[in-house]
Structure 1
Amino acid sequence: MTFSELAKTRYSVRNYEAKAVEDEKLLQILEAGRVAPTAANKQPQRILVVREQEGLEKLKKAANIFNAPMALIICGDRKNVWVRPFDQHDMIDVDASIVTDHIMLQATELGLGTLWIAYFNPQVLRDAFQIPEQLEPVSILLLGYAAGAPKSPDRHVTERKNLNETVFYENFPAL
């Protein structure tokens, strides 16, 4: 499968089979996150794997997890993140998102479904999993085997904007 085919195959899964993700696949997925690029190679990502029923029940208090059999809570370490010197903007969200994307695409290649969750209550998450203050929860990635028919890779023809609506050369037009 080419990268383009992989990217078009991936879709947001909101219905999962009650089947556990194999340890071998989980390790491959986590390795994809480990090798993801981060600003200045600071590697601020900290990932909490949640796959036991007790943990999944706690997670449900912070977000809708669509009965996924596993979730990864992707955090960034505020004490270990690159900060742009011009405006003091830190790259914690960017780094965690790159890691999440690598993990998500690796999971797709391995035949797993994913759902990137940004709509969650961070304080409930912190309390439930004793997330230290220096760690910033950025996303939750649900993982598992998708139930039901997958979305068509051809959906991007109608569900995505054309390049001429999102890409500009040399200068942006007046908006």
Structure 2
Amino acid sequence: MSFLDLVNKRYSVRSYEERQIEKEKMDYIMECVRLAPSAVNFQPWKFYIVTDKEKLDAIKYTYKREWIQPAPCIIVACANHDESWHRRSDNKDHADIDLAIAIEHLCLAAAEQGLGTCWVCNFDASLCHQLMALPENMEPIALIPIGYTSETETPEKKRKEMCEICTYI
């Protein structure tokens, strides 16, 4: 499969089967995450792979949408602000950028393995922080439900035209 085919295959899944993900697939996906680049190679992240029913239900409570309920696993992607690189000129913290790169590695690797994912950023991060008993320097950036999709068709992607996003100078 070409990279373009893989990118076209990946979309935000909002319908999951309750079946568990094979450990080999999850290990492969997380190896792809581990190899993601980051600013100054600081890798300021921690990924919590939540499958325990009680903890999973608690995390789902931080994002009260019905579609997430059947997801057999949610990965809580966290930034470690004590380890992230800060640009010298303005002290910009690159943790969010680093996490975005790693999360997209996760989503593309999952699609390659026949699994669906969805970025969830509109969740109660403070409640998630509390439920996960995270240290103060660790910020939950996104929830990524992951699993086998129960959808039968890949939705059409609506994207801007190339001329709207790209200018050659």
Maintained 8 Å contact 1:47/1:72 = yes
- Measured in 1, the distance between the counterparts of 2:151 and 2:117 equals 14
Maintained 8 Å contact 2:30/2:106 = yes
Runs of 4+ in 1 over 3 A off after TM superposition: none
Q: Deviations over 1:124-161 (max 9, x none)?
A: 10111101110111111110000021315xx23xx111
Question: Which structure 1 segments of 5+ residues have no match?
Answer: 171-175
Q: Show the counterpart of 2:166.
A: 167
2:14 is matched by which residue type in structure 1?
A: R
Q: Show the counterpart of 2:39.
A: 39
- SS of the counterpart of 1:143? strand
Overall identity of the aligned pairs, in %: 34
Q: Show the counterpart of 1:122.
A: 125
Q: Which has the larger radius of gyration?
A: 1
- SS of the counterpart of 2:102? helix
Matched pairs, number: 166
Q: Show the counterpart of 1:72.
A: 75
State the TM-score, normalizing by the size of structure 2: 0.95
- SS of the counterpart of 1:80? coil
Q: Trace 1:69-148 onto structure 2 (pairs within 5 A).
A: 69-148=72-151
Q: Show the counterpart of 2:11.
A: 11
Shift of 1:169: 2.4
Which deviates the most, 34-43 or 51-60? 51-60
Maintained 8 Å contact 1:61/1:124 = no
Shift of 1:37: 0.2
Q: CA RMSD in A?
A: 1.0
State the TM-score, normalizing by the size of structure 1: 0.92
